[in-house]
């Protein structure tokens, strides 16, 4: 009944136009530039002052041909591994934490949640910088390990891929915990008690009841981590020493360092496509799994 009312109730008023700016904003500053980008990827040059047929002259697939080289493909897959690895291990670590917060903790839940969310709101850059103190040759990790006798010589972690992976993992952790926590907390306690009542051991309840019911949170969390991680710029740049290229750093390189926006645009489109396709693939695999297990995608 409600949407009927809206037309009746409001039809005589004019300020419909007040709603327009909000729509125009993404239209002008997101979707049109996106189209632009795709368009530019097909050009080899563009004279900004001449708005006529020179555009057609400059059309080319060359940019995309250039990208088929091994270097670029390697970078794409490197970012893919990083994103997937981050997502996967974040899941491994986050799930127990979310489980603990949602189903185990009673009184201190809000407090613990607050402390979990806090790093989430700390400036990303600050977080990364903080990890320098841990991972440096003279940092906390090495000092502690040396003192405990686990290693005899300090480890050089900074400016290696290992550092990147570790920091990615911890920086994206809150992104994964929150959705899983939300979906776990939506499970009715009765359901779990029923499982106990019917004789299931704790691990069985977890595997057959809790896990399937939390799948929607898992998938949300995974993609909340996977998608940004793929294009991550800050962490690889700061911790990788600028030698190892990922998608994010390469895009930045194209646009800011070489000013080759055409190749850059093409690469951005390619990586975007790669991201979408890989995400859809993962999602499809996940759906098949969920259907088997009895999660949210049952039809």
Partner 1 sequence: MRSNYGLGHYLLPIFVFFIYILLYCPIIVLVLFSFNKSPLSYKWVGFSFCWYKELFQSVEILAALKNSLIVASVSVFFSVSMGLFYVFYGTSRFLNRMIVFFYGSLIAPEIVLAVILLNFFTFFSIPLGLATLIVGHTLIGLGYVVPMLRNRYSEIDYSLIEASLDLGATRNQTFLKIVVPLLSPAIISSALLVLIVSFDDFLISFFCSGAVTLTLPMYIFAEIRAGATPVVNALSTLLLVTSSFLILILTSLKMRTRIF
Partner 2 sequence: MREIRLSNVKKSFKGEVILEGLNLTIPSGEFFALLGPSGSGKTTLLRLIAGFESVDTGSIFIGNKNITNVPINKRRVNTVFQNYALFPHFNVFDNVAYSLKIRGLKKDVIEQKVIKILKSVHLEKQIYKSIHQLSGGQQQRVALARAVINEPDVLLLDEPLAALDLKLREKMLVELIDLQDVLKTTFIYVTHDQFEALTVADRMAIMNSEGEIEQVGTPEDIYEFPRTSFVAKFVGTTNLLKGILRAEDNKTFVEIENLGKFEALLPKNKKWVCNGCNILMSLRPEKIEISKTPLTGFSNCLEGQVDSIVYHGRSTQYYVKLKNGFLLHVFEQNEEHFPQEEIDYDDKVYMYWQKENVVLLEK
> Should residue 22 be labelled a site residue for partner 2 when binding is judged by CB under 8 A?
no
The interface with partner 2 within residues 46-105 (CB under 8 A) comprises none
Stretch that binds partner 1, among 51-59, 94-102, 152-160, 291-299 (CB under 8 A): 94-102
Rg (CA), the chain: 25
Phi-psi region of 211 (alpha: psi -120 to 50; beta: other; left: phi over 0): alpha
12 or 71, CB closer to partner 2?
12
> Should residue 8 be labelled a site residue for partner 2 when binding is judged by CB under 8 A?
yes
Q: Which of 50, 51, 104, 299 binds partner 1 (CB under 8 A)?
A: 104
Q: Which does 54 bind (CB under 5 to 8 A by kind): partner 1, partner 2, none?
A: none
What CA–CA distances, in Å, run from 178 to 25, 181, 271?
29, 5, 27
Stretch that binds partner 2, among 3-11, 46-54, 128-136, 238-246 (CB under 8 A): 3-11
> Should residue 128 be labelled a site residue for partner 1 when binding is judged by CB under 8 A?
yes
| Buried-exposed string 224-255: b where 16+ CB fall within 10 A, e elsewhere | bbbebbbbbeebbbbbbeeebbbbbbbbebbb
4 or 197, CB closer to partner 2?
4
Specify which residues 104 forms β-bridges with.
none
How far is the C-alpha of 101 from the C-alpha of 112, rounded, in Å? Answer: 8
How far is the C-alpha of 238 from the C-alpha of 41, rounded, in Å? Answer: 28
36 or 298, CB closer to partner 1?
36
Q: Which of 84, 145, 170, 208 binds partner 1 (CB under 8 A)?
A: 170
5 or 152, CB closer to partner 1?
5
The interface with partner 1 within residues 21-60 (CB under 8 A) comprises 21-23, 25-27, 29-34, 36-37, 40, 48
Residues 6+ apart with CB under 8 A from 102: 181, 184, 185, 187
80 or 131, CB closer to partner 1?
131
The interface with partner 2 within residues 216-255 (CB under 8 A) comprises none
Q: Which does 289 bind (CB under 5 to 8 A by kind): partner 2, partner 1, none?
A: none
The interface with partner 1 within residues 189-218 (CB under 8 A) comprises 196, 201-203
Name which of 112, 109, 222, 128 is nearest 173 in CA terms.
222
> Should residue 251 be labelled a site residue for partner 1 when binding is judged by CB under 8 A?
yes
How far is the C-alpha of 95 from the C-alpha of 163, rounded, in Å? Answer: 23
How far is the C-alpha of 19 from the C-alpha of 166, rounded, in Å? Answer: 45
Task: Please report, as ranges, the residues that interact with partner 2 according to CB under 8 A.
Answer: 1, 4-5, 8-9, 12
């Amino acid at each position: 009944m409600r949407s009927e009312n809206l037309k009746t109730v409001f039809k005589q008023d004019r300020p419909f136009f007040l709603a327009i700016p909000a729509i125009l904003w993404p239209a002008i500053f997101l979707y049109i530039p996106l189209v632009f980008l795709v368009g530019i990827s097909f050009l080899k040059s563009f004279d900004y002052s001449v708005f006529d047929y020179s555009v057609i002259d400059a059309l080319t697939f060359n940019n995309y041909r250039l990208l088929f080289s091994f270097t670029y493909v390697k970078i794409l897959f490197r970012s893919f591994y990083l994103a997937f690895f981050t997502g996967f291990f974040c899941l491994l670590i986050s799930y127990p934490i979310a489980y603990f917060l949602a189903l185990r903790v009673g009184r201190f839940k809000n407090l613990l949640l607050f402390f979990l969310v806090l790093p989430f709101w700390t400036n990303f850059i600050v977080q990364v910088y903080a990890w320098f103190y841990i991972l440096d040759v003279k940092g906390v990790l090495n000092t502690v390990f040396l003192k405990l006798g686990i290693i005899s010589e300090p480890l050089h972690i900074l400016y290696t891929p290992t550092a990147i992976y570790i920091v990615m993992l911890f920086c994206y952790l809150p992104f994964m915990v929150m959705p899983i926590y939300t979906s776990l907390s939506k499970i009715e306690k009765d359901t779990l008690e029923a499982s106990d009542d019917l004789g299931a051991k704790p691990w069985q309840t977890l595997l057959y009841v809790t896990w399937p019911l939390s799948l929607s949170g898992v998938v949300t969390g995974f993609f909340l981590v996977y998608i940004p991680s793929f294009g991550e710029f800050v962490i690889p740049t700061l911790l990788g020493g600028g030698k190892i290229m990922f998608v994010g750093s390469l895009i930045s390189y194209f646009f800011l360092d070489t000013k080759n926006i055409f190749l850059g645009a093409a690469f951005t489109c390619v990586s975007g496509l790669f991201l979408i396709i890989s995400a859809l693939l993962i999602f499809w695999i996940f759906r098949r799994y969920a259907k088997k297990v009895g999660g949210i995608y049952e039809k």
